[in-house]
Amino acid sequence: MTMRMMGMALGNNVALIVVAGCSSVIQGMGPKNSYGYPALNIAFAAGSAAASGMWRAFKQRNKDVTVVVWAGDGGTADIGFASLSGAAERNENFIYVCVDNEAYMNSGGQRSGSTPHGAVTPTTPEGKKENKKELLFLMLDHHVPYAATASVGYPHDLMDKLRRAKTIEGFRYLQVLTPDPYGWLFDPSRTAEVGKLAVQTCYWPLLEVVNGRVQVSNESLHCLRKETRRPLRDFLSVQGRYKRLNDQDYKELESYVDYTWDRILKLMRT
């Protein structure tokens, strides 16, 4: 869904770098390729580094091409984190899109750093103990010119963010929550709905940070005050991966949401 929206937002002049993940397979069998964009497929940890070389090559050839790294949460939070951090620190000129379905879905859904607390996965059959790695804040600590979050439940918001990112020079980060029916265990027809619930229950904040200035997106404004947040249960109960959730786990997740919004509020004040 995100790939399609990205195509609509960014237009034709794009070169993709696709790291190991579902999207490596969705392209179809070589030597043919089903993507409308030229794509360099690359090893798991190497996306951001390859992009650092690619955009410079286009610059030297005087070509105006938007370079986009397309990576999952495993490739972003874990194995690709060093190269992501390096590229952000150097303010490399490309857009990094993390499609976050909160696990290593291509290999069967094993936990990643981006898997939330309490979620059942094949490698955390009793539910993950740790909280979801806070990638957005980590990116903000690199002082990147643009960082944002989006959800497949709100396509127009997603496309607006990509269009804005395209106009900015330097390192741009977009993390899109992409609910996975097979990993999160819900009916595929509800994907967009689950993407909406994540935002409405304030689990997944929609934000845009341009040069350090935080702008909470419209769909998340109600989250700024605890009283107006939709109950987290509405989001969790739809997903089979939270079947084992006990009261303690639920409280842990609620305080994670509280903590996240406290951080956002703090950022808005500075």
Partner 1 sequence: MKVMSGNEAVALAVKLARVGVVGIYPITPQTTIIEELAEMRARGELSADIVRVESEHSAMAVTLGAAVSGVRSFTATSSQGLLYMHEMVWWTSGSRAPLVMVVATRAVGAPWNIWNENTDFMSERDSGWIMAFASTPQEALDLTLQAFRISEDPRVFLPVMVGMDGFILSHTKTNVFIPSQEDVDNFIPPRRQPYVIDPETKESMGNIFPPIYYMKFRQSIHEAITNSEEVIKEVGREYNKISPLGDYGTLNVSYKLDDADYAVVTMGAWSLDAMEAVDKLRENGLNVGLYRVRYIRPWSEKEIRENLGDKRAILVVDRATSLGRGGPLYLELKSTLNIPIKGVVTGLGGVSVGKRDFYSLISRFVEEARYSEVGGVEWYYPGEVKEVELGTPRTAH
Chain position carrying tokens 């995100």 = 2
Q: 8 to each of 1, 3, 198, how far by Cα in Å? A: 11, 9, 24
Count, residues near partner 1 per rule CB under 8 A? 47
Binders of partner 1 among residues 63 to 92 (CB under 8 A) are 63, 65, 82-83, 85-86, 89-90
Binders of partner 1 among residues 152 to 191 (CB under 8 A) are none
If binding is defined by CB under 8 A, does position 54 make contact with partner 1?
A: yes
> Pick from 5, 6, 9, 39: which binds partner 1 (CB under 8 A)?
39
Q: Which is nearer to partner 1, 58 or 250 (CB)?
A: 58
If binding is defined by CB under 8 A, does position 46 make contact with partner 1?
A: yes
If binding is defined by CB under 8 A, does position 144 make contact with partner 1?
A: no
What type of residue is 254? E
If binding is defined by CB under 8 A, does position 110 make contact with partner 1?
A: no
> How many angstroms separate the CA atoms of 175 and 250, rounded?
24
> Pick from 1, 7, 22, 35: which binds partner 1 (CB under 8 A)?
35
Tokens of 40: 């360099």
Give yes or no for a contact between 94 and 55, defined as CB atoms under 8 angstroms apart: yes
> How many angstroms separate the CA atoms of 270 and 267, rounded?
5
Instruction: Name the minimum Å distance from CB 162 to partner 1.
Output: 16
What does 22-47 look like in DSSP terms, one character per residue?
HHHHHT-STT----SS-EEEE-TT-H
If binding is defined by CB under 8 A, does position 9 make contact with partner 1?
A: no
% helix, strand, coil for the chain, step of 5: 45, 15, 35
Q: Which is nearer to partner 1, 9 or 39 (CB)?
A: 39
If binding is defined by CB under 8 A, does position 224 make contact with partner 1?
A: no
Instruction: Name the minimum Å distance from CB 95 to partner 1.
Output: 14
If binding is defined by CB under 8 A, does position 29 make contact with partner 1?
A: yes
CA dihedral 142, 128, 220, 192 (to 10 degrees): 110
Instruction: Name the minimum Å distance from CB 69 to partner 1.
Output: 10
If binding is defined by CB under 8 A, does position 212 make contact with partner 1?
A: no
> How many angstroms separate the CA atoms of 184 and 3, rounded?
20
If binding is defined by CB under 8 A, does position 61 make contact with partner 1?
A: yes
Give yes or no for a contact between 74 and 21, defined as CB atoms under 8 angstroms apart: yes
Kindly list the residues in this chain that would bind partner 1 in the complex (CB under 8 A): 12-15, 17-18, 24-25, 27-31, 33, 35-43, 45-54, 56-61, 63, 65, 82-83, 85-86, 89-90
